[in-house]
Amino acid sequence: MRTRYFSILLLLCLSTGLFAQSAYQPTEANLKAREEFRDNKFGIFLHWGLYAMLATGEWTMTNNNLNYKEYAKLAGGFYPSKFDADKWVAQIKASGAKYICFTSRHHEGFSMWDTKFSDFNVVKDTPFARDIVGELAAACARQGIKLHLYYSHADWSREDYPRGRTGRGTGRPNPKGDWASYYRFMNNQLTELLTNYGPIGAIWFDGVWDQDQNPGFDWQLPEQYALIHRLQPSCLVGNNHHHAPNPGEDIQIFERDLPGENKAGYSGQEVSQLPLETCETMNGMWGYKITDQNYKSTKTLIHYLVRAAGKNANLLMNIGPQPDGNLPETAVRRMKEMGEWMAVYGETIYGTRGGLVAPHDWGVTTRKGDKLYVHILNLEDRSLFLPLTQKVKRASLFKDKSPVKMTKTKTGLLLDFPEVPKEIDYVVELTLE
C-alpha cells in the first residue's frame, strides 16, 4: 500500500515537474510585440496558392475530391506575370493596415517559398520560379510593414500527413500517414521561414481541427511553439483552432466573428486576456473566386474595423489575389477608401484599447490616454445615453473639435447632437478627468 502511495506521489511530482519545465513564459520581447500587435489594430490577410488558378476558392481540392497527383500539375502552369510585391505592399499600406498575413502554405500543401523540404513549391515546381514569400518579405521590409505568415497544419497532398476530417478524397495512400515524418517536415519548414526571411510578426496556424475526430491525436504543439519562440522570441504564435488558447500561444484568433459573437459557428470559445484578432473576408471567399464579386461596402468594412477595436480586437481583412498576380481591382479600391477614412480617424483606432462602455448596436467606444472615443455607427436619435460614471471634462466632435452638448446624470452621461448622426462613423471625443 505504502509503495503504491509513494509511486502515485512520485508520478505526481514528475508530472508537475514536467509541466513546470514546459510551461511557457513569454519573453520581454514577446510581451512588447503583443502590445505593438494590439496597437496596430488592422491587418490585411492574403490567401494565395495554386487554388487561385482554379478560381473557386482555396477549398476546391477537398470539395471536389481532386486527386493530389493531378492537382500538383497545376504548378506547371503557375505564372503570375503581373506579380509585383512592392505594388501589393503599397496598395495594402494605402488602406492603413499595419501588417500583412500571407499564406505561406495552405491546406493544398503547396509552399509559396524556396523550401528545401518539399519540391512542391513555387521555385522548384513552377515556370515562375520566384520566391514569393521572399519577395513579399523584402517589399514589406522596404516599405515598413510587418509580415505575418499563415501556415497550415492540415495537408491534403502529403502522403505522410495522417488523414483527417478533410482532404479525404484526394487519393493519398496510407490513411495513417507518418506523423514523425510530417512533424519533422513542418518544423523544418518553420525553421526556414523564421531564419531566411527576416523578422516575422506572427505564425498563424490553421487546420488543427482536421484531427478533432482522431481520438488521442497529439499535434505536439508546445514543442513546435517553443521552436518558433526560440528562433524569433518576438514572433507571435496564433492558432485558428476555434478553441480557447493553448499554452504557448500569444494571440487569440477568431474566424468570421467578433470576440464574444458566434454567428458563423466557429467562435463559441471563451474570450481570453491575450491580444485578440478576428479575420473576415472582403467578399465571401478566402482564396480568389471568379464568380464572387459580392464585396462588402467600404462602410461595412470600416464598421467591422471599428467594432473590432471596440471589442479590443484587431481586424485581419482578407483578399484573394488573382492568378495573374494582381489584387482584385475592387479590393484595391476598398482598401484605398478605408485608408482615406483611417487618415482622418486613425487616431481613434490605432493604439487604442476597448473603451469603458460595452459595445452596443449603436456603436462602440475606444480608449487611449485620457480620451474616450465614442464611435456612433447606427443611431436614429439626436441624443445618446452612455452609462459612464467616470468624470468627463469635455465632449467634442472628433473631426472638427466643435463642442458636443453633454449632461451628467446620476447614472451616466447624455450627449446631444445638432442632428441625427449620418456619417459612416460619428466620432465624439470625450476628455476624461
Taking the least distance from each CB to ligand H79, the nearer of 51 and 120 is: 51
* Residue in the shown chain whose Cβ atom is closest to ligand H79: 209
CA 55 to chain centre: 22
Residue 104: C-alpha distances to residues 85, 147, 197, 341 (Å): 14, 11, 12, 30
- Work out whether strand 363-368 and strand 371-376 pair parallel, antiparallel, or are unpaired: antiparallel
Radius of gyration of the chain from its Cα atoms, rounded to whole angstroms: 24
Q: Tally Cβ neighbours within 10 Å of residue 316.
A: 26
Of residues 59, 92, 94, 98, the one with CA closest to residue 350: 98
CB of 58 to ligand H79, least distance (A): 5
CA 257 to chain centre: 12
CB of 296 to ligand H79, least distance (A): 16
Of residues 39, 45, 107, 26, the one with CA closest to residue 278: 45
Taking the least distance from each CB to ligand H79, the nearer of 179 and 209 is: 209
Of residues 198, 139, 156, 150, the one with CA closest to residue 64: 156
Taking the least distance from each CB to ligand H79, the nearer of 106 and 146 is: 106
Taking the least distance from each CB to ligand H79, the nearer of 308 and 372 is: 308
CB of 228 to ligand H79, least distance (A): 19
CB of 149 to ligand H79, least distance (A): 13
CB of 209 to ligand H79, least distance (A): 4
φ/ψ of 265, rounded to 5, equals 100, 5
Taking the least distance from each CB to ligand H79, the nearer of 165 and 360 is: 165
Taking the least distance from each CB to ligand H79, the nearer of 42 and 345 is: 42
> Could you give the CA distance from residue 248 to residue 403 in angstroms, rounded to a whole number?
47
CB of 165 to ligand H79, least distance (A): 4
Taking the least distance from each CB to ligand H79, the nearer of 155 and 337 is: 155
Q: Which three cell numbers stand for residue 197?
A: 526571411
Of residues 72, 76, 51, 75, the one with CA closest to residue 172: 72
> Could you give the CA distance from residue 413 to residue 352 in angstroms, rounded to a whole number?
21
> Could you give the CA distance from residue 128 to residue 94 in angstroms, rounded to a whole number?
27
- Please give the residue ranges that form the binding site for ligand H79 (CB under 6 A): 47, 58-59, 165-166, 206, 209, 240, 255, 279, 286
CB of 286 to ligand H79, least distance (A): 4
Residue for grid cell 495537408? 155
- Three-state SS for 271? coil
Q: Which three cell numbers stand for residue 117?
A: 523540404
E-strand ranges in 138-249 read 146-152, 202-206, 236-239
CB of 56 to ligand H79, least distance (A): 12
CB of 275 to ligand H79, least distance (A): 17
Taking the least distance from each CB to ligand H79, the nearer of 318 and 366 is: 318
Taking the least distance from each CB to ligand H79, the nearer of 165 and 336 is: 165
